[in-house]
Structure 1
Amino acid sequence: MIMLDKKWWHNAVVYQIYPRSFQDSNHDGVGDLAGIIDRLDYLQHLGINLIWLSPVYRSPMDDNGYDISDYQDIAAEFGTLAEMDQLIAEAARRDIRILMDLVVNHTSDEHAWFVEAKKSKDSPYRDYYIWRKAGADGSPPDQQRSYFGGSAWEYDAASGEYYFHLFSKRQPDLNWENPQVQEEVHRMMNWWLDKGIGGFRMDVIDLIGKQVDQQIIANGARLHPLLQQMHQATLAARDVLSVGETWSATPDTAKLYSDPARRELSMVFQFEHITMTHDTKEGKWKPLPFDLIEFKQIIGKWQTALADAGWNSLFWNNHDLPRAVSKYGDPGHYRVESAKMLATALHFLKGTPYVYQGEEIGMTNVRFDSIDDYRDIESLNLYHERTAAGVSPETMMAGIHANGRDNARTPMQWNSTHNAGFSSGTPWLKLNPNYREINVAAALEQPDSVFFHYQKLIELRKHWDVMVYGKYLPLLEQHPQVFAYRRSLGSQQLVVVNNFSGEHVELGLPATLHGVAGQGLISNYAQRDSWTDHLSLQPYESFAIAYVCEAGLG
């Protein structure tokens, strides 16, 4: 087995904050930077090493900050640049770095570049964006669609041309074929890096090499040269983390992004284990049942493919995805057990784990009765578009309840008081009513809570090289209820067993696992240090045992 050069982020754990929903310090119902600063001690107690901060840049908030009007200023509702500097400094005092969200596939239509681009076809900023002439009848140049519904082309009456937008019409796509765009983005990235941040999470970065006229959106021919240029201009001389959001990634293309020899990114987010539950036609709005055998095949494929050239990011949920315990576990009777199981299953894999705010206390999806209670532009646009086309409101609401982005965006549940301790004002998005039972204060009072399970997993990564660098070896690959695997690094061995069902499971084990005995590292039931040739698993039981095998497994 090839041993990768060790990086500080290999044994790190990243915590994602969605600032709007984390902590409100000024009582306006919107989370802010000062609120995050107030909660840094909590994050230090959890043990994380980085905060991935969803966008806090100046923005009209058409897409909750993913529409940026000034990359070098802070949105007023989140605070000021001075507070951003304070957050970077206060986090550093606690050995926590800040990972900024880099959104450079598109800007806001209020960005100065786009404002200037619209003034004239001769504007020096016109070519910062993607423009095409209208069809003979004034129609869009082609039939490409926006991810948020409707055409990907928006008509500009003043010039008689259309501009391209893969997301909202208020998020015009940048033209990455223009060297001036590249230079502007590189300069901005270096400005942030000079402030001492720990790197960037790069939003939909696989789209910047798009070839619009050929209708090639992801993985265009220029994508990897553009990333190599970006790396050379910004990241090459710095010890920072870069992770790309790449919905289109395969194991082969992920190696192009993350093989250190190629000098592009540290790692990518891939979504194959997410999209396996999406209908091929209706997407996430018609969720499919979770198939554990298929999931294990996907995880094994990625663990093997990136074992020696590249790096995996490990995650169940983020600001765009449903809550893990609702999607893959049991948000009801076995909420605590299944939340711990999911954490164990993920954190012992090879890669860098990402924890989304509230995951560490087992927060769940929300089920608002009315579409009017939702705020997510994607959910709202597609609800109205599809119901107008004949899809029943009940069908769309079922999809939103299962996979809508606001599941992850309800305010953080700090305690059982008014508005869960998030804000004394009216929250921008309604809270999940279960905050009275599921909250940080309650978790910190319970030694066996989901929080302390996460804390222990994070601590274990700091001390067990096999957990970070060990070879992945799947076990029980065809079992429909149990996800088990082995990690091996020389004589150091781990076995991890996870029951993904709410049933008792009796396991007859292969001969290679008979008589395993060692040190029980973590469990969500009674600690296990050994077994013979048979295992009886409780509902959602999971555990990890470390042991020494002198022969090793490579």
Structure 2
Amino acid sequence: MEHSHTADWWKKSTVYQVYPKSFKDTTGSGEGDIRGLIEKLDYLQGLGIDIIWLQPVYVSPQNDNGYDVADYCEINPEYGTMADFDELAAEVRRRNMHLMLDIVVNHSSTEHRWFQEAKQSRNNPYRDYYIWKDPAPGGGVPNNWQSKFGGPAWQYDEATGQYFLTLFDKTQADLNWENPAVREEVVKLMTFWAEKGVSGFRLDVINLISKDQNFPDDDGSARPGDGRKFYTDGPRVHEYMKELNRRIFKPYNLVTVGEMSSTSLENCILYSNPEQNELSMTFNFHHLKVDYPNGQKWELMPYDFEQLKSLLSRWQTGMQEGCGWNALFFNNHDQPRALSRFTDDSEYRVESAKLLATTLHGLQGTPYVFQGEEIGLPNPKWNGIEEMRDVESHNIYRILQEQGKSPEEAFNIIRERSRDNSRTPMLWDSTPNAGFTSGTPWIKVDERYPEINVERQLHDPDSVYHHYKKLIGLRKKHQILIDGTFVRLDEAHPQVFAYSRVKGQEAVVVVSNFSKEQTVFQFADAFAEEWLEAGPAELLAGNTKQVPPLWKEMALSPFASYMWLIRRK
């Protein structure tokens, strides 16, 4: 499929992430569907979106919201038909937009035909598609690795007397990438979708596909039996990425983003440096763990602002120096809403939503907007665990109480951390169920929809939506936002994150006050002399009625955030 752009056309693009189950329902089933997305393509085009990342709509038992795939080349009837998908692909193309599919090939569902074959006998031709091990010498699991969803990472198969590896849910069996036949199948299924006109892939936990073939016990240096150091950015992962690039990504000119679990900056440079011929860009999650005490997700603490800024800055500088490329994001389907997490989601909700957007969209990389982010959607107000749907939340709620927490304490933690926070339905208008469904929604609709919805914001030039639209447009217009050098400017200021992007005779300056307090920010003398006195500053984006002039010393109101462009005379 031809693109009218250069090889790295996606650098100026913005990606919109669709969680199909909660986007738009056209049948009254209470769950979103592919036709619902087709219906809203004009909305996404109006926002300026170039790439739509559609999360899994394959046939699946839905034990992990579709990330447990039972057939990679069929559409789950809950979402529609292959004819619906073909129409979606054609309608996206007709609008000069691109469709990116979520591909899950670290594991498949145990209901997949390959696994159903594999468990028939030890010498079944599909046996080697998965990772099987004999019990430990004294009986029991082959090693002490833990699943990412809790419990051992091995499941016993009575019939054949061996264990199979499951790094995630017990119904998600890890594929054996050492087997060339598995890699052949992956190329085949990606080719199937590329031939249907898909422009790219988001590769789920792709840096976990290569395991240390000795499968050693973990001595507990990270945490007891963690195991991740034996399969994260594993021994052959870069070789496998190069093979996929050569066989499918390059021939079809696909845009690819790897979801990189617990990865390192050094590896992400290798994955995304064009000279390496692997992926277009990578997601890393370090900046979204700054409110985890000692890396523990299920404990609460206020987030560490300095750590957030230094992680974002380290990855900006590191990827720039290593010629890698970042996927930029604060929100996705696995994270609570950034608005509620890092800023203020009530009194200063609108300013806060615009602040997060300006701060992110001024950085180098390709920005990702998760559905609802562009209207400033906060975490819902949960009334009890029974309103929640995520398997992980219910598991952890039980485990926390087994560990001695009261039901109230356990629920307080789940309420802050649950993945359901980002999975409630999209708020389209002020009609019942926010225009998401005419039926009973699969998960609750946020009660604030009469105030917070798309329709209201489309008609309000000062809305969060229009702020996103402006920022998305700026990336297409100003090359400096693509390749300007990142320089951090705030020197550990307790309330302010400030940075510049510099290229030749131009600089973009971004200043954001992440606090409820009025604060004063001062630029360093050298920067002030070199840039602030160099020429007039043009305001590209701001979130207050009154905008302070860009001087060496600035007074900033609560959650004020601005982006300026300076051109040297």
Which TM bucket (shorter chain)?
over 0.9
Instruction: Tell whether 2:344 aligns with 1:330.
Output: yes
> What corresponds to 1:120 in structure 2?
121
Structure 1 residue 402, shift from structure 2 partner? 1.4
> What corresponds to 1:495 in structure 2?
509
Assess if the C-alpha contact under 8 Å between 1:475 and 1:484 holds in 2.
yes
How do 1:273-284 residues align onto structure 2 when only pairs under 5 Å count? 273-280=287-294, 283-284=296-297
How do 1:407-422 residues align onto structure 2 when only pairs under 5 Å count? 407-422=421-436
Report the 3-state secondary structure (helix = DSSP H, G, I; strand = E; otherwise coil) of the residue aligned with 1:256: helix
| Matched AA of 1:544 | M
Report the Cα distance in structure 1 between the residues aligned to 2:367 and 2:398, rounded to whole angstroms.
36
| Matched AA of 1:520 | L
Instruction: Tell whether 2:207 aligns with 1:178.
Output: no
| Matched AA of 2:550 | W
Structure 1 residue 136, shift from structure 2 partner? 5.0
> What corresponds to 1:485 in structure 2?
499
> What corresponds to 2:219 in structure 1?
none
How do 1:36-435 residues align onto structure 2 when only pairs under 5 Å count? 36-136=37-137, 138-211=139-212, 213-214=215-216, 215=227, 216-280=230-294, 283-308=296-321, 309-435=323-449
Report the 3-state secondary structure (helix = DSSP H, G, I; strand = E; otherwise coil) of the residue aligned with 1:123: coil
Assess if the C-alpha contact under 8 Å between 2:54 and 2:102 holds in 1.
yes
CA displacement, residues 477-513 of structure 1 (integer Å, 9 cap, x when unaligned): 2101011111111112111111111111122332232
Unaligned runs of 5+ in 1: none
Report the Cα distance in structure 2 between the residues aligned to 1:145 and 1:386, rounded to whole angstroms.
17
Assess if the C-alpha contact under 8 Å between 2:429 and 2:456 holds in 1.
yes
Report the Cα distance in structure 1 between the residues aligned to 2:88 and 2:515, rounded to whole angstroms.
41
Report the Cα distance in structure 1 between the residues aligned to 2:548 and 2:493, rounded to whole angstroms.
23
Residue 536 (structure 2) aligned to one of 517, 524, 528: 517
CA 1:107–1:473 in structure 2 vs 1: closer, same or farther (change >3 Å)?
Answer: same
Report the 3-state secondary structure (helix = DSSP H, G, I; strand = E; otherwise coil) of the residue aligned with 1:436: coil
Structure 1 residue 82, shift from structure 2 partner? 1.1
| Matched AA of 1:78 | Y
| Matched AA of 1:250 | S
Assess if the C-alpha contact under 8 Å between 1:517 and 1:529 holds in 2.
no
Report the Cα distance in structure 2 between the residues aligned to 1:400 and 1:340, rounded to whole angstroms.
27
Assess if the C-alpha contact under 8 Å between 2:537 and 2:550 holds in 1.
no
> What corresponds to 2:17 in structure 1?
16
| Matched AA of 1:52 | W
Assess if the C-alpha contact under 8 Å between 1:483 and 1:497 holds in 2.
yes
Assess if the C-alpha contact under 8 Å between 1:344 and 1:542 holds in 2.
yes
Assess if the C-alpha contact under 8 Å between 1:379 and 1:405 holds in 2.
yes
CA displacement, residues 64-91 of structure 1 (integer Å, 9 cap, x when unaligned): 1000000000001001111111111101
Structure 1 residue 287, shift from structure 2 partner? 3.1
Report the Cα distance in structure 2 between the residues aligned to 1:193 and 1:492, rounded to whole angstroms.
39
Assess if the C-alpha contact under 8 Å between 1:517 and 1:531 holds in 2.
no
Structure 1 window deviating more from structure 2 (541-550 vs 521-530): it is: 521-530
CA displacement, residues 365-410 of structure 1 (integer Å, 9 cap, x when unaligned): 1232322221111112222233223333333322221121000000
CA displacement, residues 93-151 of structure 1 (integer Å, 9 cap, x when unaligned): 11211110010011011100001111111110111111111235542222211111111
Report the Cα distance in structure 1 between the residues aligned to 2:160 and 2:447, rounded to whole angstroms.
50
Assess if the C-alpha contact under 8 Å between 1:293 and 1:477 holds in 2.
no
Structure 1 window deviating more from structure 2 (135-144 vs 12-21): it is: 135-144
Structure 1 residue 527, shift from structure 2 partner? 6.2
Report the Cα distance in structure 1 between the residues aligned to 2:482 and 2:94, rounded to whole angstroms.
25
Report the Cα distance in structure 2 between the residues aligned to 1:364 and 1:332, rounded to whole angstroms.
9
| Matched AA of 2:189 | M
Report the Cα distance in structure 1 between the residues aligned to 2:442 and 2:11, rounded to whole angstroms.
36
Assess if the C-alpha contact under 8 Å between 2:489 and 2:523 holds in 1.
no
Assess if the C-alpha contact under 8 Å between 1:149 and 1:385 holds in 2.
no
Report the Cα distance in structure 2 between the residues aligned to 1:529 and 1:386, rounded to whole angstroms.
48
Report the Cα distance in structure 1 between the residues aligned to 2:404 and 2:173, rounded to whole angstroms.
29
Assess if the C-alpha contact under 8 Å between 2:7 and 2:253 holds in 1.
no
Report the Cα distance in structure 2 between the residues aligned to 1:157 and 1:373, rounded to whole angstroms.
36
> What corresponds to 1:32 in structure 2?
33
Give the count of matched residue pairs: 545
CA displacement, residues 268-317 of structure 1 (integer Å, 9 cap, x when unaligned): 10111111221225x22113322222222111111111114111111001
Report the Cα distance in structure 1 between the residues aligned to 2:305 and 2:427, rounded to whole angstroms.
30
Structure 1 residue 517, shift from structure 2 partner? 2.6
Report the Cα distance in structure 2 between the residues aligned to 1:285 and 1:67, rounded to whole angstroms.
24
CA 1:200–1:527 in structure 2 vs 1: closer, same or farther (change >3 Å)?
Answer: farther
Structure 1 residue 221, shift from structure 2 partner? 0.6
Structure 1 window deviating more from structure 2 (223-232 vs 129-138): it is: 129-138
Q: Under a length normalisation based on structure 2, what TM-score does the superposition of the two structures give?
A: 0.93
Report the Cα distance in structure 2 between the residues aligned to 1:125 and 1:392, rounded to whole angstroms.
47
Assess if the C-alpha contact under 8 Å between 2:348 and 2:559 holds in 1.
yes
Instruction: Tell whether 2:564 aligns with 1:545.
Output: yes
Assess if the C-alpha contact under 8 Å between 2:21 and 2:32 holds in 1.
yes
Assess if the C-alpha contact under 8 Å between 2:232 and 2:263 holds in 1.
no
Assess if the C-alpha contact under 8 Å between 2:536 and 2:566 holds in 1.
yes
Percent same amino acid among aligned pairs?
46
Assess if the C-alpha contact under 8 Å between 2:14 and 2:367 holds in 1.
yes
Assess if the C-alpha contact under 8 Å between 1:525 and 1:541 holds in 2.
yes
Assess if the C-alpha contact under 8 Å between 2:20 and 2:32 holds in 1.
yes
Report the 3-state secondary structure (helix = DSSP H, G, I; strand = E; otherwise coil) of the residue aligned with 2:118: helix
Report the 3-state secondary structure (helix = DSSP H, G, I; strand = E; otherwise coil) of the residue aligned with 1:285: coil
CA 1:137–1:436 in structure 2 vs 1: closer, same or farther (change >3 Å)?
Answer: farther
| Matched AA of 1:397 | F
CA displacement, residues 395-444 of structure 1 (integer Å, 9 cap, x when unaligned): 33222211210000001111121111100111111112122211111111
| Matched AA of 2:442 | W
Assess if the C-alpha contact under 8 Å between 1:101 and 1:200 holds in 2.
yes
Aligned-residue Cα RMSD (Å) equals 1.5
